[in-house]
A and B are shown apart, each in its own frame.
Chain A
Amino acid sequence: MKRIIIIDDDRDMQAIYRHMLKDEAARYSLRFAGDAARALRMLAREPADLVISDVIMGAMDGETFIARLRERGVEVPVLIVSVLHPDMLPRARGAKRVYFMQKPITGEGLRAMLKRIVKE
């Protein structure tokens, strides 16, 4: 069972993730964080195998979140899911173990990506 933390302040998007991964309950355990600060606290409490994050969010954006994570020496892979093209996210692109998916995403695409990241 792989532990995944999903950061998104949009409850609708959280619902979509749940729906897309509802058949993967045996493989992935999902935890949701409404903002990046909460995700950092969660990661401090217990490690995760993967973090899925939006970019444009309330107090802390996705790129800043990755920077904070790496500053703390947490090398967990991060999948950035955003409507923005990765080219518009230079700080995230420059970080290690960061993956990108551009919204809209499909359930299939997401599952394939998770599989690949987890395997790596």
Chain B
Amino acid sequence: MPAKDLFIRFAKSMRDGVCRCTLDEGRILFANRGFVNIFGLDCPPEALTGKLLREVCVGLGDKGAAGDPLGAERGVHGRACRLGTLGGDERRVILDSFVADDPAARARVATLIIRDITDRTRVEEWTSKLNRLKERLLGTMSLGGKLGLTTEGAVEIFGADFARIWMTGPGDLCERGCVHAAVTRGPHVCRDRSLCLHLMASSGRYPRIDGSHRRVPMGCYKIGRVASGEDPGFITDDVVHDPHVHDHEWARSLGLVSFAGYRLLSDKGAPIGVFALFSTRAIVPEEATLLEDVAHTISQVILAGKAEEALQASWSQYRTTIDSLAEAIHVVDPDLRILLANRAFTRWTRKLGLRGGMVGKTVFEVFPFLPESVGDEYRRVFRTGKMLMAEERNVLRGRDLITETRKIPVIEGGKTVRVITVVTDITARRNAEEAIRRSEKKYRALVEGAGEGIFLADTEGRLLEVNRRGHELLGYPKQALVGMHYTRLHPPKDRARVAAAFREITARGEYEAHDVPLLRRDGKVIPVDVTGSVIRYGDTTLIQAIMRDISERKRVEAMKDTLIRDVSHELKAPIAMMEMAHAMADVAIAARDLEGIKRAKEIAARHLSVLGKDIGNIVGMCALSGRTVAPKSARVSLREIALEIAGEMRDRIGDRKVALAVRIGKGADGITADRRMMRTLLYNLTDNAVKFTRRGTVALSTSRAGGWLTLTVRDTGMGIAVKDAGAAFTRFYKKNPAARGTGLGLPICREIVGLHGGTICLDSEGRGKGTTVVVRLPLRGARPRRAGRGSAG
């Protein structure tokens, strides 16, 4: 095969443009398909044979002369140059040529090999421009600004007709003029108002973002379908016919050729928007790749922008929240400089009299009175990242300032970068607490020292607090009653009644009951008066019961009743006896019954004497205790008085086998005293002894020693329990209520002895073992105490 044919076969197989032409006029001898393609010619390569090179392309640059085929007189190697097509396009090419004589053509012939690098160069330019755009997008700018920059860049870099970015968000114009909201038929019905595409940026032919496409429903039109994922990454180079484009007429009128739409996605693959671009030329594959990259960049910009917006919003929210808090808050950096102070904090510092701005100053500049320990605390929080709570007491302008401070670390990237300090002025609270503590102490002392039992129970009836007296009343050791149920304070048979009373206290708020039985720990029952009330503070309701022991009062009342009964009995009985004796005498007189008359007279006389004695006792007691009598001093023989009384007692002894012995020697009885009183003393003591002795002896004796006379009245009668011996000297006391007498005998004796400056004591070895009363009186020169009382033992 000739070399020429080999060349042609080789050239035809090459993708680069190959052309042989004459060197002088540039007449084309051969061109391959690659050549035709580079210059966008609409003819087979063979059709170029015979044509001049200048009829096919335009030489650009310094060596653009058509006659000189691309200035390749001596051949060029790898020369980059620009060529223009007939259509006006510019092609960037790498040119290799060599020149040789062609004997067949009888001319010098240039062989040109043209590598079209237009697209490669364009992609490189696009890439470089895109990189610059990306750099700009890294700067500080609002999200809207960045998106606008992106669409502008897309139009400029890719020579697009217009470019737009939509972002997903909830429908916001549905009720305010959104054209899509009204659509109810066809493929473009807005189905999810919570997810809508908002036009955020638009550049090129349509720079406005408030047109009819400002909102696009998800899934509607080509934009909505790209966003929803039905047509992700949709590219067409035939918008005038593509069924996805709904307005072909519009596209045609604008001369639009291609459309590229990219779905913008979050890191998790959720749709966050659409990037779309219309162009009046076809989109080359390299361009599509770059546009995809742009879409990815936009996604990142949106995500970063949204995060920043969220951060801004949360900061603003944080600021608003901090400002709205009643607690005084400030934020400090590691240098203890105040970065932020909320309104409450500013107000509080003003109240303290601190003026001027705080932000930027250190806490020690703002609060010069703070101790260095506060700085240590801050440093500890920054070091440990743990919250610290402290109470500080300072003096500001001579006044106590008590604050409670919480230092809360703000940790970023594992490091404490700021500390939020919450300051609460607790001066008033602490002062109030102090006052409460003082009053509580007072209350405690009051409650503990109260003479009444104070019981505090919860509404279930569980005892929470019982004072000292309460424990004493019930015979329990201190605190032993706490936790017990109140019903256990009462005998079992009374518990239902007490429970009803408790319910009444709870319902009515107050309650009073008299003579309520309390069950002591030792099983003894004591009567109390109860005042119940409800105490409320805050959410707490407590039941308080105050219990007063009325045992003594009841005893006195019972004694009073008995006294009235006894005294009236003692006074009425002898009168009744005298009346009956009188009637008896009448009957005896009528019957001339002398013995009866005598007997009646004796009865009357005896009871007249008893009556006289009783009245004397009562009047005497009144006089003695009212101190209206003074003892008269005279020489008195106790023996004489004793014998006299012994005579009187015989009738009282009657048929009982009681021997009354007066063992008082003649020389041992003299005393200076009031005779009548001495008689009353001896009579009462003897009378008592006789009364309580059914059989045996009653003996009166005296002795003298050291200026004192001791009178002893000893009987072998029923005796008295040791514990009752002291009570025997209490007025109106009667061990046996049914016994005769007023219960004034011994009390009168004590008064008399007291008036004479002596002592009296009663001794018994117990019931059934007799009683001994010992009276000691000064013999002579005694100075009776006018108002004195004998000490009783």
Contact = CB atoms under 8 A, between A and B. Distances in A.
A15 B738 contact: no
Given A10-B577, A12-B581, A19-B587, A103 B572 contact: yes
A75 B168 CA distance: 111
Interface string B572-583: 110111011101
Interface stretch (A41-49, A53-61, A92-100, A111-119): A53-61
Contacts of A15: 599, 603
B572 A83 contact: yes
A61 B579 CA distance: 23
Interface stretch (B444-452, B562-570, B622-630): B562-570
A103 B607 CA distance: 14
B578 to A, nearest CB: 8
A102 B686 CA distance: 31
A67 interface: no
A103 B576 contact: yes
Contacts of A29: none
A88 B602 CA distance: 30
B736 A59 contact: yes
Contacts of B577: 10, 12-13, 16, 103-104
A105 interface: yes
Interface residues of B, number: 31
B636 interface: no
Interface string B756-791: 000000000000000000000000000000000000
A72 interface: no
Given A83-B572, A84-B569, A103-B573, A16 B738 contact: no
Nearest to B571: A83
B737 A61 contact: yes
Contact of B569 (A10, A58, A83): A83
A64 B738 contact: yes
A83 B740 CA distance: 13
Given A15-B599, A60-B738, A104 B569 contact: no
B565 A88 contact: yes
A19 B591 CA distance: 12
Contact of A83 (B573, B736, B737): B573
B698 to A, nearest CB: 16
Contacts of B596: 19
A62 B569 CA distance: 14
Contacts of B566: 56
Nearest to A108: B583
B737 A105 contact: no
B739 interface: yes
B740 A56 contact: yes
B793 to A, nearest CB: 26
B654 interface: yes
A77 to B, nearest CB: 21
B606 interface: yes
Given A57-B738, A83-B573, A103-B573, A16 B568 contact: no
Nearest to B692: A58
B738 A61 contact: yes
B654 A11 contact: yes
Contacts of B588: 19
Contact of A104 (B580, B606, B738, B740): B580
Nearest to A59: B736
Contacts of A11: 654-655
A19 B569 contact: no
Interface string A9-41: 011110110011000000000000010000000
Interface string B60-98: 000000000000000000000000000000000000000
A104 B579 CA distance: 6
A83 B576 contact: yes
B606 A12 contact: yes
A64 B607 CA distance: 26
Given A10-B577, A103-B580, A105-B580, A84 B599 contact: no
B473 interface: no
Contacts of B569: 55-56, 82-84
Interface string B581-602: 1011001100000001001001
Contact of B738 (A19, A20, A55): A55
A106 B691 CA distance: 29
B568 A84 contact: yes
Contacts of B565: 84, 88
Contacts of A57: 738, 740
A12 B740 contact: no
Contacts of A58: 691, 736, 738-740
A15 B583 CA distance: 13
Interface in B544-576: 565-566, 568-569, 572-573, 575-576
Nearest to A83: B572
Interface string B720-759: 0000000000000000111110000000000000000000
Contacts of B572: 83-84, 103
Given A56-B573, A61-B738, A107 B607 contact: no
Contacts of B584: 16, 19-20
Interface string B282-313: 00000000000000000000000000000000
A107 B691 CA distance: 30
A1 B587 CA distance: 25
A82 B573 CA distance: 8
Contacts of B602: 12
Contacts of A34: 654-655
Given A16-B603, A56-B573, A83-B572, A106 B583 contact: yes
A45 to B, nearest CB: 20
A88 B739 CA distance: 16
A61 B607 CA distance: 21
Contacts of A62: 738
B568 A104 contact: no
A16 B654 contact: no
Contacts of B581: 12, 16
B576 A107 contact: no
B583 A104 contact: yes
Interface in B594-618: 596, 599, 602-603, 606-607
A13 B576 CA distance: 10
Contacts of B573: 56, 83, 103
A34 B691 CA distance: 13
A60 B738 CA distance: 7
Nearest to B573: A83
Nearest to B736: A59
B737 to A, nearest CB: 7
Contacts of A106: 580, 583
B595 to A, nearest CB: 10
List 3 A-B pairs, minimum CB-CB distance, nearest first: A61-B738, A103-B576, A104-B579
Given A16-B584, A58-B736, 5 more contacts: A56-B740, A83-B572, A83-B575, A103-B572, A104-B575
Interface of A: 10-13, 15-16, 19-20, 34, 55-62, 64, 82-84, 88, 103-107
20 contacts: A12-B581, A12-B607, A13-B577, A15-B599, A16-B580, A19-B584, A19-B596, A19-B599, A56-B569, A56-B573, A57-B740, A58-B739, A59-B738, A83-B568, A83-B576, A84-B568, A84-B569, A84-B572, A104-B583, A106-B583
